[in-house]
Copies of this chain bind each other. A is one copy, B any other.
Amino acid sequence: MKKQTGIHLPTHRPLTTVDVVIFTVKEDQLQVLLVQRGSADQEPFPGCWALPGGFVNVAQDATLLDCALRKLHEKTGVQAPYLEQVGSWGGAGRDPRGWSATHVYFALVPWQEVQAAAHTNVSDAQWFAAEKCITMKLAFDHHELFQATLERLRSKVEYTSLPAFLLPEPFTLPQLQHMYEVVLGRPVDKSGFRTRMLAAEFLQEVGTVQSDAPRAPMGYRLQHREAPVYFPRTFSPRGAK
């Protein structure tokens, strides 16, 4: 229909942003980092809680992933966590400043690393329980982004080793099981859990580890920190439909 002759670059370009849903498990709860928007004039949603994110900086970010890593580091001080793209949302109506498209990532960060970074002094950032977050009004369409991301996380935890990225190494199987239980919000059978984890062959024994437990548990590390392992089946209690 329209044949391009010569260079035709669009005169009106959408705004391009990246938003990151940063998860951690703190105090036996799945928690999410939100930032409070400034109150400067004309800023949309002033004072409102929002997902950490912002405009892609074409001078600074070589890729979208780099941009997400930058946002993450700015807000948490954490360097190399697990980061995965959820998808993108774009349209004319989602930002009052104009047609915009955002690329959404989620990150899994061990709480201990966040503490170590001691960067949480970012005054406008705060951790919220995921359940709480669901009920909050967020800036832009961030409620929708967050809901989709939480669903993605929960469903993927059913058949992957993702929760391992919420723990500092070395970790023990009971600790890992606890991460699963927190994210899934339900208890998981001990025995089945162990056989499943060991069968997946993504853990490396690294010697027993000190803990407050009477019996010293085995410590493990991940063989590959880049990507999670996919289990052949889903966790599913007998009664589940």
Contacts and interface: CB of A to CB of B under 8 A. Distances in A.
Interface of A: 1-7, 9-10, 12-16, 38, 40-43, 55-59, 61-64, 66, 74, 85, 87-93, 97-99, 101, 103, 232-234, 236
A14 B97 CA distance: 16
Given A14-B16, A16-B90, A91-B62, A3 B38 contact: yes
Contacts of A63: 90-92
| A-side interface mostly | loop
A85 B90 CA distance: 12
Nearest to A44: B7
A10 B17 CA distance: 10
A30 B67 CA distance: 36
Contacts of A87: 85, 87-88
A49 B40 CA distance: 48
A64 to B, nearest CB: 4
A61 B232 CA distance: 40
Given A88-B85, A233-B233, A64 B3 contact: no
A59 to B, nearest CB: 7
B88 A4 contact: no
A99 B14 CA distance: 13
A236 B63 CA distance: 37
Contacts of A58: 10, 12-14, 92, 98-99
A75 to B, nearest CB: 10
